[in-house]
Amino acid sequence: MDITGRLERFFSQRRIFFFAVVIALLAALPAFGFSRYIMRICIVISIYSMLTLALNLVAGYTGQLSMGNGGFYAIGAYTATLLMINAGLSFWSSLVVAAAFAGISGFLLGLPTLRLKGSYLTIVTLGFGEIVRMILMNWDTVTNGTLGVRNIPLPSLFGVSLSFTNHGLYYLALVLTALVSVFCALVINSKVGRAFIAIREDEIAAQMMGIKTVRYKVLAFVLSATISGIAGAFYAPMVGYIDPNSFTFDISSQIISMAILGGLGTMRGMYFGAAALIVFPEVSRFLMDYRFVIYGLILVLMMRFRPQGLLGWRTRLPYRFGKVLERQLAAEGSLPPLL
Amino acid sequence: MPLLHIKDISLSFGGLKAVDSVNIRVDEGEIVSLIGPNGAGKTTVFNILTGIYTVDSGEIFFEGNAIQNKIPQDIVEAGIARTFQNIRLFRNMRVIENVLIGSHIREPYNFFQAVFRTRRFRDSERENTLKAVRLLREVGLLARTHDYAANLPYGEQRKLEIARALATGAKLILLDEPAAGMNPQESEELLRFILSLRGRGYTILMIEHDMSVVMNISDRIYVLDYGKLISEGLPRQVANDPKVIEAYLGGVPDAAENNRA
């Protein structure tokens, strides 16, 4: 067995322990007394983890490359902000409405465009991201145009405002990322996730197995848009100020770079990609303008030598039947032998 | 009542009559072969049957219900599943997952029930996975359950493709050149496998070029050439039909030319 296979087995056998350690470390992070700058980077990493997990549903599992996820992120951010400021809604209700609204826009975009294939779809989604930004810029009466919206209130819970100082924002980011992660894992490990992957692997064969491919592609799009909307709705109060230029095409392309670097079609790769591409520009500040040359070089080298992404291997672990089923199979003598 | 009754179907691509008034009937429990030279329209018939193409005219009845021009998903639900000439497995999915995709339409839970892991979800998943493993055992792929489809040798990939079609719960299995690219031993094994499928109550309509397979297991044979049925009957009758011999080997030069003009 090769090295990744061994590592996987090592971690898999102790997964509850490692899981607990990671959760404990993340929960205890504020106690280490890091600066506000470091904590902010951690929050940004978790926002981008949500965004890459969202992209992963569409591009990683379903195999439809969307370059418009920045648009859903913007819709989430603006919807939440305007609801909080103009309608006086709480952060929590705004978050729910923003997620729903982003999901609906995903549905409306997905319905006509998902009949397109490959690069045609990509171009349309790219256009969508730009259209969203143009609307935000020019619909002055609602979005305040290029001036943006300032003084976005912080979320508050039981009368306590969640800020950088009391680490409320950090914990909120953590909880949202955890919820999104669990959600993605539940979706992937069901017939829905299998249908997504089947569409990526061979759309015609998937259709011939009775999978309603357009419906599942639209579903993947809606889920992706909803999660991106949640990330946006959290981002706006975190920074306190948004304008249309916070949501340029750079966001969409950065999400894609992260997902590809980590390994599309895996969840581990999403956290890794987000962390790597957020931290890299920060630690390489001494390189000044050259850092984006290096950044580009890393991506090019990766595409050359590891196109599946750094953590993008297919798992060697056995398929999980679950205890009940394993007992049942063993009882009738048809428990499949491990590889 | 035949299980499948194709009545007078025609389909043209522009000026080309790809399928021209074809009639085929398949009774329950039969193995029926569709043969003919390359480009005769055999795969087109399959594509019509599975809803990829719509017919210009004619009707198709499956268990007495008209199924012509239905979408592929409805045809699978009606009970027809197929394999492909060039294997189309989900290569980066496991063997068991490929079979589970086959039973996708037999999973009665919806999206929200999946996310909340309701009882219906768990029961349905457990039952389908159990059935999938049993099916893999029956077709002799149990040892490969955990492996990825892409890692299987050719013969086993063919078997997996058939297993995936069986998992849909279909009664009629359409096999598009199952023995293509197989050596004599492999096609011998495939032959036994297909016979065992009939033994378990499946009905099979297959396209095949390997005459040792076709002549040995078919109950009846239809021969297609240039979109038209030129012969049908028992294997022995078809093998001795001059029109079939001519279509395959070419007949008297003039006659052949007239046919192709």
Q: What is the pLDDT at residue B254?
A: 54
Q: How far apart are CA B23 and CA A231, in angstroms?
A: 58
Say yes or no for a CB contact (<8 Å) between B84 and A205. yes
Residue located via tokens 């390189």: A287
Q: What is the pLDDT at residue B257?
A: 52
Say yes or no for a CB contact (<8 Å) between A197 and B102. no
Say yes or no for a CB contact (<8 Å) between B125 and A190. yes
On chain B, the residues whose CB falls within 8 A of the CB of A336 are 96, 133, 136, 142-143, 145-146
Minimal-distance CA residue of chain B relative to A219: B111
Q: How far apart are CA B62 and CA B70, in angstroms?
A: 12
Beta strands (DSSP E) in chain B are: 4-13, 16-26, 31-35, 57-62, 65-66, 80-82, 172-176, 203-207, 220-225, 228-233
Please check whether residue A331 touches B, CB under 8 A. no
Please check whether residue A324 touches B, CB under 8 A. yes
pLDDT of B253 strictly over 80 = no
Q: Collect all residues with Cβ–Cβ distance below 8 Å to B203 and sequence separation of at least 6.
A: B3, B4, B26, B27, B28, B29, B30, B31, B171, B172, B173
Q: CB of A186 within 8 A of CB of B115?
A: yes
Residue A335, token pair as written in the block: 């428990």
- For B111, the closest of A192, A202, A314 (CB atoms) is A192
Please check whether residue A9 touches B, CB under 8 A. no
Say yes or no for a CB contact (<8 Å) between B146 and A219. no
Q: CB of B163 within 8 A of CB of B99?
A: yes
On chain A, the residues whose CB falls within 8 A of the CB of B107 are 191
Residue located via tokens 């004599």: B184
Average pLDDT over residues B97-101: 96
What ranges do the domains of chain A cover?
34-308
Reduce the DSSP state of residue A62 to 3 states and report it. coil
Strand B203-207 relative to strand B172-176, pairing: parallel
On chain B, the residues whose CB falls within 8 A of the CB of A192 are 111, 114
- What ipTM, to 2 d.p.? 0.90
pLDDT of B259 strictly over 70 = no
Chain B: closest CA distance from residue A185 (Å): 9
User: What distances in angstroms separate CA B130 from CA A324, A329, B126, B133, B182, one per listed residue?
Assistant: 11, 7, 6, 5, 31
Q: CA-based angle B155:B218:B89, to the nearest 5? A: 30
Query: Mind listing the pLDDT tens digit for each residue in A35-58?
Result: 889 999 999 999 999 999 999 999
Q: How far apart are CA B83 and CA B86, in angstroms?
A: 9
Minimal-distance CA residue of chain A relative to B170: A209
Residue located via tokens 């070029």: B209
On chain A, the residues whose CB falls within 8 A of the CB of B96 are 319, 336
Beta strands (DSSP E) in chain A are: 156-157, 160-161
Q: What is the pLDDT at residue B252?
A: 57
Average pLDDT over residues B179-208: 91
Q: How does the average pLDDT of chain B come out, rounded?
A: 91
Q: Give A 177-206 residues with CB within 8 A of chain B.
A: 183, 186-187, 190-192, 194-195, 197-198, 201-202, 204-206
Query: Mind listing the pLDDT tens digit for each residue in A215-274?
Result: 999 999 999 999 999 999 999 999 999 999 999 888 998 999 999 999 999 999 999 999
Strand ranges across the sheet with B57-62: B16-26, B4-13, B57-62, B65-66
Structure confidence at residue B222 as a pLDDT band (50, 70, 90) = very high
Residue A240, token pair as written in the block: 């306190």
CATH topology of domain A34-308: ABC transporter involved in vitamin B12 uptake, BtuC (1.10.3470)
Which CATH architecture group holds B1-79+172-189+202-261? 3-Layer(aba) Sandwich (3.40)
pLDDT of B256 strictly over 50 = no
pLDDT tens track, chain A, 339 positions: 577 788 888 888 898 999 999 999 999 888 888 888 999 999 999 999 999 999 999 999 999 999 999 999 999 999 999 999 998 899 999 999 999 999 999 999 988 887 888 788 889 999 999 999 999 999 988 888 888 888 888 888 888 888 888 888 999 999 999 999 999 999 999 999 999 999 999 999 999 999 999 999 999 999 999 999 999 999 999 999 999 999 988 899 899 999 999 999 999 999 999 999 999 888 888 887 887 788 888 888 888 888 888 888 888 888 989 888 999 999 988 888 887
Chain B: closest CA distance from residue A7 (Å): 18
On chain B, the residues whose CB falls within 8 A of the CB of A207 are 72-73
pLDDT of B261 strictly over 50 = no
CB atoms within 10 A of CB B219: 16
Q: How far apart are CA B55 and CA B259, in angstroms?
A: 25
Chain B: closest CA distance from residue A229 (Å): 19
Reduce the DSSP state of residue A66 to 3 states and report it. coil
What ranges do the domains of chain B cover?
1-79+172-189+202-261, 89-169
Reduce the DSSP state of residue B48 to 3 states and report it. helix
Q: What is the pLDDT at residue A112?
A: 85
Of A336 and B259, more confident: A336
Q: CA-based angle B8:B10:B15, to the nearest 5? A: 150
Strand B172-176 relative to strand B80-82, pairing: parallel
Average pLDDT over residues B129-135: 95
